[in-house]
Amino acid sequence: MLTPNQFEVELLTGLRITSEQDGLKACNTLHSAGPRKVIITSALIEDKLLLIGSYKRTEEQPPEQFKIEIPKIPAYFTGTGDLTTALLLGWSNKYPDNLEKAAELAVSSLQALLRRTVEDYKRAGFDPASSSLEIRLIQSQDEIRNPRVTCNAMKYK
């Protein structure tokens, strides 16, 4: 599995990602290099934050592709990229044949954790938009282990 963000996928493929079609093309380019599962973990396209997933069940079949629209949270966080990859890998291990479900659980976990982080900073009197926030991993263990799916995958045709 390969899990680049938008910046990383542009560097890896030499493609500029300005549309969903560009994201899908980049996934196909990465598939041709070997990985059967590719997830662009975050791409800002037309003012929407998206996860774009693509997987090949067999080498001969075209990839199945999907997206998840990720709600924007008006704050800057430290460590979200690494956590996203860890969650994707963990849920993919539990659901090896259902990348959409793994991605839904990973994104939903992350969103719950980020909302908790913002709430904790506000309760402590900090403005979450004013500086980088350290994510609340320990306090969010339940949301990580048993997330409520709030972000759903939509298949591309």
Q: Give residues with Cβ within 8 angstroms of 27, minimum separation 6.
A: 38, 40, 52, 53, 54, 63, 65
pTM over 0.85? The answer is yes
Residue 37 within any structural domain of the chain: yes
User: How confident is the model at residue 130, as a pLDDT?
Assistant: 83
**Residues that are catalytic:** 82
Regions of the chain with pLDDT less than 70:
none
* Predicted local distance difference test score (pLDDT) of residue 131: 81
Q: Does 1 reside within a domain?
A: no
User: Strand 37-45 relative to strand 48-55: parallel, antiparallel, unpaired?
Assistant: antiparallel
Tally the domains of the chain: 1
**Within a domain: 107:** yes
CATH number, domain of 131, equals 3.40.1190.20
Query: Which pLDDT value is given to residue 28?
Result: 97
Summarize pLDDT for 96-107 with one digit per residue, the tens: 999 999 999 999
Task: Please tell me the predicted confidence (pLDDT) of residue 59.
Answer: 85
CA atoms within 13 A on the CB side of 135: 22
pLDDT score for 96: 95
